[in-house]
Amino acid sequence: MQKVWLLKSTCEKQGSQKRLILTMQVEEYLNDIAEREGTVHLTLIDPASQSPEAAAEIAKAAVAGGTDAILIGGSTGAGGVALDQTLIKIKEQVDVPTILFPGNAGGVSTHADAIFFMSLLNSRDINYITTNQVMGAPIVYKSGIEPISMAYIISEPGGTVGWVGDAKLIPRNKPELAAAYSLAGKYMGMHYTYLEAGSGADRPITPETIGAVKHVLGDNKLIVGGGIRDGKTAKICADAGADMIVTGTIVEETDDVKKKIEEIVSAIKK
């Protein structure tokens, strides 16, 4: 089935009410895929890891492999000109949504379609819980990019983002702690929950933790990322309750992005 998705801003420029009716906002687009296809696949591209042109080639191959949207962000060096140029080049090559996954307020760019507007709930540092959000919110407001509210929770091993975000890492064998944080995020009105093991983690979030979190979230969507490198692992996470799977490191490591993404996507879709 063709994915009907068109930017609201594009529609407004066209001034067409009819097109507006056909428009899906990014959150609705993701939720729709989760319902129809079982699981969403998101490809994470860090603007600090390659040139904007190389990032655009990765995005194009990932979309050819079946990814549903491109996440753009990173913990260090992922803002400014590199971020803007990466988004511009990616948008020249693909028509799936581009979603910011910011490490701080510097990770906001007006060139994206949406932003995971997230709070790192298990940080010890107020900067990652509310202060960066306060700094970034006016930019999001003025740009018109779509904010998608999200609870961000980092589990062991946590990687760079765990260190940068000063996270009180959820122990791998304590699913009830991850569930309690997720429930708190849901009760505070966050639509999405992202369980993060850290980019390049040697192991992903456990199925027990994913299952415990999804159990309390109910219809709220659960994103799982960090350390997912093959279709089999992605399927274990999806079967445990993940509505969306994020992979990033594999597109930096593989020689054949399209084939690798196809492997993951075919394992997690109905």
Asked if residue 43 binds ligand 1GP (CB under 6 A), the reply is no
How many other CB atoms are found less than 10 A from the CB of residue 220? Answer: 18
Asked if residue 65 binds ligand 1GP (CB under 6 A), the reply is no
Question: How does 196-212 read in b/e, with b if 16+ C-beta sit within 10 Å?
Answer: bbbbbbeebbbbebbbb
Minimum distance of ligand 1GP from residue 71's CB (angstroms) = 8
Which residue shows structure tokens 């933790």? 209
Asked if residue 247 binds ligand 1GP (CB under 6 A), the reply is yes
Options 225, 244, 264, 265; binder of ligand 1GP; rule CB under 6 A:
225
Nearer to ligand 1GP (CB atom), residue 63 or residue 234? 234
Nearer to ligand 1GP (CB atom), residue 203 or residue 215? 203
Minimum distance of ligand 1GP from residue 266's CB (angstroms) = 17
Asked if residue 246 binds ligand 1GP (CB under 6 A), the reply is yes
Alpha-carbon gap, residue 270 to 267, rounded angstroms: 8
Minimum distance of ligand 1GP from residue 9's CB (angstroms) = 27
Alpha-carbon gap, residue 237 to 240, rounded angstroms: 5
- Element spanning 269, H or E: none
Asked if residue 228 binds ligand 1GP (CB under 6 A), the reply is yes
Nearer to ligand 1GP (CB atom), residue 85 or residue 249? 249
Alpha-carbon gap, residue 200 to 247, rounded angstroms: 9
Stretch that binds ligand 1GP, among 89-97, 116-124, 225-233, 235-243 (CB under 6 A): 225-233
Asked if residue 77 binds ligand 1GP (CB under 6 A), the reply is no
* Cα angle, residue 28 at apex, residues 97 and 102 outer, rounded to 5°: 50
Nearer to ligand 1GP (CB atom), residue 36 or residue 232? 232
Which segments of the chain are extended strands (E)?
40-45, 69-72, 98-100, 114-120, 146-154, 192-196, 221-225, 244-247
Asked if residue 44 binds ligand 1GP (CB under 6 A), the reply is yes
Task: Spell out the residues 6+ positions from residue 129 whose beta carbon is closer than 8 angstroms to its own.
Answer: 119, 120, 121, 123
Options 58, 201, 244, 265; binder of ligand 1GP; rule CB under 6 A:
201
Nearer to ligand 1GP (CB atom), residue 193 or residue 199? 199
Nearer to ligand 1GP (CB atom), residue 52 or residue 73? 73
